[in-house]
Amino acid sequence: MAKASIVLDPAFTVGKTDPRLFGSFVEHLGRCVYGGIFEPGHPTADDEGFRQDVIELVRELGVTVIRYPGGNFVSGYNWEDGVGPIDKRPRRRELAWFSTETNAFGTNEFMSWCAKAGLEPMMAVNLGTKGADEARGLLEYCNVEGGTALSALRHQHGHPNPHRVKLWCLGNEMDAPWQIGAKTAREYGTLARESAKLMRWLDPSIELVACGSSSRSMPTFAEWERIVLEETFDVVEYISLHGYFSKHGDKSRDFMAEADLVGRYIDEIVAVADGVAARRRSPKRIMLSFDEWNVWYRTRDRATRTKPGWPEAPAILEELFTMEDALVFGAALLTLINRCNRVKAACVAQLVNVIGLIMTETGGRAWRQPIFYPFQHAAQWARGTVLDMRLACGTFTAGDGEQFPDIVSAAVLAEDGKSLSLFCVNRNFDLAIDLEIDLRGFDLSNFVESRVMISDDINATNTADDPERVRPQNGPAATRHKGAWHLNLPPASWNVFRFECEPVDQRI
């Protein structure tokens, strides 16, 4: 058994997790909407066509905010196509995913679905084929109570109350050659600034996200962020970043290290954003919205992304995740939590079917993917103050010989100060780890529980016929030895340990 140690003190903190950190993403792509969250005629569908089995899983997951309607889809989307009587909505050939879009599900359906699922909507505007006026128009339709043409149109469509959407994305991946209406950084920055100006004049309460690079590997990475923020610094709160983690061949060690690169990516964007602030001598700090992230590699090949013949809601990008994927996913999630002082929003891409946390059969069953569980645990127990831990553990070699820690961990003191949750991923595939926890400054009164997710097959996955092949179970109890807590981390495992403790203000 390997040895490791963590030192925690309530006096040393990173920051508080924002509820929006536990977000996801719904795009008009494959079966995410049609056959995923929306399927009139399904045995569980309500009177609006929303699958109740999916809504129940979404509530269980604990997701807080949903980004919509894209993604690449939004850069060619006319939002007007998706409102009004369904039988009068136009069918379109959709050029992002080469499918036929029926527009049976649109803005008002999305808002109603969010309300029923208890979610905050995060809307994206089309800055690919459209511009500032269309962005202003969608905001007016959604947020203005009445007295204008577009708010009256919403009333006419059966929605007298405004949707009051607070969080808005100014386009999607506008640096990318695959994006409809791709632009240079200066072109996009100028358009985003003018769009933001109109939107803020209409509704000063909104928060805006400027597009950052579509990945860290883009040739314009960092320079794109610098130019965009020079144009938009005064009118946005966030810059976005997107990241997908891939396994190449049988290189499991390199795959495990993908999560560590998330931290570097975040730190680099923060450095660029703060550099722009420094040149302006501004105390303002741009926050980060990691609004697309997940494991994704089996279906990333171009041949798997589209189907011939412009089909409706084809089954594409339906990644079936494994236990190994859940380890990388969990480690990336903990990395986001450990940078909660700057990452204030994040969206797992996507929610259902398309590289989804949840899978469904059209007309049939719904079940949880292995990555569902680390997200669920974090959404439930990582609300509060993240502690600035000191971790010492063994390492593994990946990439070009670089060393990476066997353990990725995060510790969160609950908002009421009465419980502490410690999350750990053991990335050592061969050895269990005895983890010693030095809880300085804590008066821990009780060990509450532990949850562990392991599998006898690292490639095991969940299916409709075997939906619980990979799932968490009750883990070992923490033990006390010579004044310290000791935790056992099985090889290749996701772990959560929870303790009761005295509120900080009662110890002062």
Indicate the average pLDDT of the chain: 96
The residue from 292, 318, 319, 324 that is catalytic is 292
Residues in Cβ contact with 400 at an 8 Å cutoff, skipping those fewer than 6 apart: none
Share of the chain above pLDDT 90, in %: 91
CATH at residue 302: 3.20.20.80
Q: What is the pTM of this model?
A: 0.96
Q: pLDDT tens, 242-297?
A: 999 999 888 999 999 999 999 999 999 999 999 999 999 999 999 999 999 999 99
Q: CB neighbours (10 Å) of residue 66?
A: 23
Same domain, 356 and 390: no
Same domain, 433 and 327: no
Indicate if 94 belongs to the active site: no
Q: pLDDT tens, 59-91?
A: 999 999 999 999 999 999 999 999 999 999 999
Domain coverage including residue 417: 2-10+386-506
Same domain, 152 and 292: yes
Residue 155 in 3-state DSSP?
helix
Cis peptide leading into 156, omega within 30 of 0? no
Same domain, 475 and 423: yes
Identity at 443, one-letter amino acid code? D
Same domain, 128 and 275: yes
Same domain, 399 and 333: no
The residue from 173, 318, 319, 324 that is catalytic is 173
Number of domains in the chain: 2
Closest alpha carbon to 410 in 263, 253, 241, 246? 263
Indicate if 292 belongs to the active site: yes
Q: Which pLDDT band holds residue 503 (cuts at 50, 70, 90)? A: low
Q: Which pLDDT band holds residue 507 (cuts at 50, 70, 90)? A: very low
Same domain, 495 and 398: yes
Contact of 336 with 346, CB cutoff 8 Å: yes
